[in-house]
Amino acid sequence: MAMYAIQSKRGAPPRGAYSQGWRAGDFLFVTGTGPVDPVSGEVVGDSIEQQTEQTIENISAILEADGASLRDVVKVTVHLSDTSLFERYNTVYARRFSQPYPVRTTVGSDLGHAPGMLIEIDCVAYSVRKAARRPVRAAKKNVRRQTK
């Protein structure tokens, strides 16, 4: 089973000791990411709608870096700084993800580690990796026959 880290210049850069994503076999794990601009590294957007849009864009970029897309996402965990923002974030989420929607857990969290951040999302995707076809070479064996 193939296992390796996924990096994308189009996704939010890590702000600590973690990778943007990992592939383990046919599963992709995308780290908790927020509305961080990939170029400036700053939180963007004042509204939950803007921040949700940017966060999902960052997730999409990480998935695309390894040949997957939002359509491949099967599990999402969302952290909101204030659960009263649920309906507004859900409107953007429902527009960006397709039916059947991934399973999802949404919780209220202290996102104080990044001032101004209203949302953080991580996800798991299932995407069969198409291996490059390599010519199969016949193995040469040196076989010694022993006589008794």
Residue 50 lies in a domain: yes
DSSP string, 100-119: SPPEEEEEE---TTSTT--E
Find out whether 49 and 88 touch, Cβ atoms under 8 Å: yes
Q: Phi/psi of residue 59, each to 5°? A: -60, -45
Residues 6+ apart with CB under 8 A from 27: 124, 125, 126
Per-residue pLDDT tens digits for 69-86: 999 999 999 999 999 999
Residue 148 is assigned to a structural domain of this protein: no
131 domain residue, yes or no: no
Question: How many structural domains are present in the chain?
Answer: 1
* 143 in any annotated domain: no
In a domain, 116, yes or no: yes
pTM here is: 0.85
Q: pLDDT per residue over 4-62, tens digit each? A: 999 999 998 888 899 999 999 999 999 999 999 999 999 999 999 999 999 999 999 99
Q: Residue 121's CB: how many other CB atoms inside 10 A? A: 24
pLDDT in tens, 91-147: 999 999 999 999 999 999 999 888 999 999 999 999 997 654 344 444 444 445 555
Instruction: For residue 102, give its domain range.
Output: 3-126
Burial of 3 (0-12, 13-18, 19+ CB in 10 A): exposed
Q: Residue 122 belongs to a domain with what CATH number? A: 3.30.1330.40
In-domain check, residue 93: yes
Rg, the chain, Cα only: 21
| Structural domain includes residue 134 | no
Q: In this structure, is residue 54 part of a structural domain?
A: yes
